[in-house]
């Protein structure tokens, strides 16, 4: 193994920063696609247009769900095989992840386009937001494949020891999206259609750059005919390892649907538009925390594959400090400047009345997410996906969704926003229990 990319030696903290910062930036860049669209549309096209984009928020999660399942699952196994110096299995992990993402994203595009109207109705579209939502939905659906390919190329370049280049895969698309949003929405006045085309064009450029890096040898995968031979057993392992990400992303899409329905019931388009801001800011919590988690993935995977379990746990502890610290910064920003955040999205007086309290309630325990997100990826990185799936399912579905329906009975709109922090506290307790249990198992297996 290249000494510069030997994850089993050297100081952990600098290594964690080296891989986590670019990974976090990569995921933040991915989030920027939708956030920039909302900022431009909210400022230039009004509340109903912004509500239309908010209605389509589950769509972005669905697109990411299939891509992350393949990229995270495949790259996790890739790192484990790298720790064992198994080049053939590393190649197959890359090839099968690529095959899976192409098949799944093309199938998703077909389903989304054929069933556009029923899906939008399921998303809770309102009459005033419908034309905006339909336009944005149909165009963005065309970018599914390119979004998935971008995620696969970014992850495999990163776990091959090139985190900066992995970041650049998504960076090129994000910069393109921002520039084209300004041109299409602000200058040409194309509205939501312009925002949607800016997103898709950015995704295409990211995917093309990712292909260039793979062909030029920026991953540890060898491009042979056997690399792209479909292996059903390996593919099942890839899906299994990445399934927690699928649940997380699809659950977030489902939660957006539930939020839109409940907020529309209690506050109409104004409340839905506030949720567009809440969901956008939440990505600035989830993406850095998830990025740090993905950054330690090759470190944890390689050391676990090499049997260095104390180093595995040390990586988790040190990365937790970084992750909680980052989320604390975002938490403080939301707590002290909620009005400024809302105004940056073109908030009206009605939005401010609902949104200032809503933001503060929703983000009141945000720092604990820095640890919960890390734990879910930690278990996936050591090829033990069940704890990750359990934490994600309970936090995002079994706990949260009933709370969204029950809490507003007693607290109105603020009760809806209060469902997330209560769910997060319960997930934290479960995460701590599972980590302590796993530590005992590993240390009994090997003292190294």
User: What pLDDT digit, counting tens, does each position of 173-211 carry?
Assistant: 888 888 898 898 888 888 888 888 988 999 999 999 999
For 3-17, 353-367, 433-447, which range has the lowest pLDDT when averaged over its residues?
A: 3-17
Asked whether the predicted pLDDT for residue 335 surpasses 90, the reply is: no
Tell me the C-alpha distance between 264 and 358, whole Å. 14
For 22-26, 99-103, 130-134, 337-341, which range has the lowest pLDDT when averaged over its residues?
A: 22-26
Asked whether the predicted pLDDT for residue 2 surpasses 50, the reply is: no
Q: What is the DSSP letter of 187?
A: I
- Mean pLDDT over all residues of the chain? 83
Q: Work out the percent of the chain whose per-residue pLDDT is above 90.
A: 14
Considering the entire predicted model, what is its pTM?
Answer: 0.71
Helix, strand, coil percentages in the chain from 3-state DSSP, rounded to 5: 85, 0, 15
Asked whether the predicted pLDDT for residue 107 surpasses 90, the reply is: yes
Instruction: Give the burial string for 407-422 (b: 16+ CB within 10 Å, else e).
Output: bbeeeebbbbbbbbbe
Of 41, 30, 66, which Cα lies nearest the Cα of 196?
41
Tell me the C-alpha distance between 234 and 318, whole Å. 31
Mean pLDDT of 355-373: 86
**Which of the two residues, 73 and 28, has the higher pLDDT score?**
73
Q: Work out the percent of the chain whose per-residue pLDDT is above 70.
A: 94
Give tens-digit pLDDT for 3-42. Answer: 445 677 778 888 888 888 887 777 777 666 666 777 777 7
Residues 6+ apart with CB under 8 A from 34: 53, 57, 60, 199, 280, 283
Pick left, alpha or beta for residue 2 (phi over 0 → left; psi -120 to 50 → alpha; otherwise beta).
beta
**Cα separations in angstroms, 294 against 248, 255, 374, 387, 438:** 15, 23, 8, 17, 19
Q: How confident is the model at residue 253 (pLDDT cuts 50, 70, 90)?
A: low
Confirm if 274 and 358 have CB atoms less than 8 A apart: yes
Mean pLDDT of 318-327: 88
Mean pLDDT of 144-154: 90
Amino acid 4: pLDDT: 44
For 62-66, 359-363, 407-411, which range has the lowest pLDDT when averaged over its residues?
A: 62-66
And the tokens for 205? Answer: 């450029």
And the tokens for 390? Answer: 């359990």
Amino acid 435: pLDDT: 92
Range with top average pLDDT, 87-91, 194-198, 307-311, 429-433 = 429-433
DSSP string, 310-339: HHHHHHHHHHHHHHHHHHHHHHHHHHH-HH
Handedness of CA 197, 198, 203, 209 (dihedral sign): positive
54 is in which domain, residue-wise? Answer: 3-445
- The number of domains in the chain is 1
Of 284, 274, 283, 287, which Cα lies nearest the Cα of 359?
274
Look at the block and give the residue holding tokens 């020891």: 161
Amino acid 256: pLDDT: 73
Amino acid 1: pLDDT: 44
Mean pLDDT of 138-167: 87
Chain-centroid distance of CA 421 in Å reads 19
Amino acid 212: pLDDT: 93
The SS3 call for residue 118 is helix
Chain-centroid distance of CA 76 in Å reads 16
Amino acid 32: pLDDT: 67
Look at the block and give the residue holding tokens 């330690």: 296
Amino acid 249: pLDDT: 72
Amino acid 41: pLDDT: 75
- Helix ranges, 182-231 (H): 191-215
Mean pLDDT of 223-230: 84
Mean pLDDT of 370-397: 84
């Amino acid at each position: 193994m290249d000494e510069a990319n030997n994850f089993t030696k050297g100081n952990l903290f600098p290594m964690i920063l080296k891989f986590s910062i670019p990974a976090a930036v990569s995921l933040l860049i991915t989030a920027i696609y939708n956030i920039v669209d909302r900022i431009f549309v909210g400022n230039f096209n009004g509340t109903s247009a912004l509500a239309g984009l908010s209605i389509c928020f589950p769509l972005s999660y669905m697109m990411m769900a299939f891509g992350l399942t393949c990229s995270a699952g495949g790259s996790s196994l890739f790192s484990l095989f790298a720790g064992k110096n198994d080049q053939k299995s590393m190649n197959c992990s890359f090839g099968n992840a690529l095959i899976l993402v192409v098949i799944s994203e093309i199938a998703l595009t077909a389903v989304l386009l054929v069933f556009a109207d029923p899906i939008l109705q399921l998303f809770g579209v309102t009459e005033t937001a419908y034309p905006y939502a339909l336009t944005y939905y149909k165009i963005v659906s065309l970018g599914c494949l390119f979004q998935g390919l971008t995620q696969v190329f970014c992850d495999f370049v990163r776990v091959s020891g090139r985190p900066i280049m992995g970041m650049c895969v998504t960076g090129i698309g994000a910069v393109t999206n921002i520039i084209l949003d300004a041109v299409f929405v602000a200058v040409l006045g194309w509205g939501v259609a312009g925002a949607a085309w800016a997103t898709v064009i950015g995704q295409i450029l990211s995917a093309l750059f990712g292909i260039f890096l793979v062909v030029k040898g920026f991953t540890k995968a060898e491009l042979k005919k056997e690399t792209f031979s479909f292996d059903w057993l390996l593919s099942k392992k890839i899906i299994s390892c990445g399934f927690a990400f699928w649940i997380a992303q699809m659950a977030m899409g489902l939660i957006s649907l539930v939020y839109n329905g409940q907020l529309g019931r209690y506050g109409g388009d104004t409340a839905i538009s506030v949720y567009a801001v809440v969901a956008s800011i939440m990505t600035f919590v989830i993406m850095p925390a998830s990025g740090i988690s993905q950054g330690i993935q090759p470190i944890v995977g390689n050391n676990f594959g090499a049997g260095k379990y104390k180093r595995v746990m040390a990586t988790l502890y040190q990365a937790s400090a970084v992750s909680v610290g980052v989320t604390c910064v975002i938490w403080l920003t939301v707590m002290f400047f909620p009005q400024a955040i809302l105004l940056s999205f073109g908030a009206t007086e009605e939005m401010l009345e609902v949104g200032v309290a809503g933001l503060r309630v929703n983000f009141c325990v945000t720092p604990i997410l820095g640890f919960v997100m890390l734990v879910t990826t930690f278990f996936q990185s050591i090829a033990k996906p069940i704890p990750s799936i359990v934490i994600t399912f309970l936090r995002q579905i079994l706990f949260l969704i009933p709370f969204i329906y029950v809490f507003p009975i007693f607290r109105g709109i603020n009760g809806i926003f209060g469902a997330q922090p209560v769910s997060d506290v319960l997930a934290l307790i479960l995460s701590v229990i599972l980590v302590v249990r796993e530590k005992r198992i590993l240390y009994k297996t090997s003292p190294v």
